[in-house]
Amino acid sequence: MQAITDVLLGFFTWINETITGNFALTIILFAVLFRLVCLPLDFYSRKGQRDFAIKTRALQPEIDAITKAYQHDPQKQQQKIMELRRKNGLGMMPKGCLSQLLVYPLLIAFFAVFRNMAALQIKELSDFVTQYGVNSPQVSQWFSDNRFLWIQNIWMPDNLFTTADVPVIRVIPFVNFSSAILPQGQSVEAMMSVIKNTSAFAGQDFSAAVASISANMQLLAEAGHNNGHNGLMILPLLSGALQLLSMKITTKLSPQPAADPANPQAASSNKMTKIMNIVFPILFVFICFSSSSALAIYWITSSAVMLGFNVLIAKFLDYRDRKKEQKVGAATK
């Protein structure tokens, strides 16, 4: 994981220095490039799901006939339906599902990557304070590079309040929201612990280094760099809304397979999908509330681009199916 972090950080730094001049813009550019790289896999997966649904619906009358004919013999019923599926080249799962297994591990890895990047960037800020002072051009440039729209520091959450501000949230274990522009107190040690064994602390006493970073964050706060809130809570709420919209539009664009008594897993999968349509938006709101804004920027950009690609893929497949129907109609005349 650290090797991936080092490669991405080097890549982000290069783009930041040579193209964008701002880490948030660098993350947006990287998210777009990543979705472009994954586009062939997304297309193959969507095509497989669509073809699976269309074939299932085409066979539904025959499946219904078999179900009625063998309603008193469930074992024979399932056997006949399986034979029908095999005869028509219809498997139990859509083609392309496994291709997504190549994408999702990378998406999950980014959660750890941005956590590590946040720690490394705060360490860099502390080093600037130690070398040049709190009011140096290097410190001002750091805040300029890590500011984005209403967010003062993309490596801290886009929040208007901390956990302590809301009594109901304060008593919930493992929930720790922060509206600070810079990490303070124990949050510094928690942030630095993720890169404890990296080259950033090579030859240093970790506890002493963290104490120095905490002291530098305090100096920055006293100089006015930690006044106000880091954000307006827009990114967490936007991430949940976009996730909900994406699921609804993707479901609407994709033909849904009919119920299949020979494939009870499909019914279970559909039920799970409905549950995930509720749980996922809430989950991503929580993650973006408690994680860095950089992660939220990446996820929102990636989700928006992927939604756009899904719409384009659906329209292309609609066009393909219409052309097929026209050819079949012309051949039968």
* pLDDT tens digit sequence for 170-188: 555 556 677 888 998 888 8
Nearest Cα to Cα of residue 235 among 171, 299, 145:
299
> Are the C-beta atoms of residues 244 and 285 closer than 8 Å to each other?
no
DSSP-derived letter for residue 193 is: G
In this predicted structure, which of 20-34, 124-138, 174-188 has the lowest mean pLDDT? 174-188
Read off the tokens for 14: 């290069």
CB atoms within 10 A of CB 20: 17
What pLDDT does 219 receive? 93
What's the pLDDT score for residue 102? 63
Cα 65 to Cα 73: distance, rounded to the nearest angstrom: 14
Q: Could you tell me which residue, 239 or 104, shows the higher pLDDT?
A: 239
- Is the CB of residue 158 less than 8 Å from the CB of residue 235? yes
Of 182, 176, 318, 164, nearest to 253 by C-alpha is 318
Taken in order 211, 217, 221, 226, the sign of the CA dihedral is: negative
Cβ 46 vs Cβ 314: under 8 Å:
yes
Q: Which range, of 21-25, 47-51, 308-312, averages the lowest pLDDT?
A: 47-51
- Is residue 262 scored above 60 in pLDDT? no
**For all residues of the chain together, what is the average pLDDT?**
80
The two tokens of residue 63 are 């499946």
**pLDDT recorded at residue 122:** 93
Q: What is the pLDDT of residues 217-255, one digit of tens each?
A: 999 999 888 888 898 989 999 999 998 888 888 777 765
CA–CA gap between residue 166 and residue 278 (Å, rounded)? 24
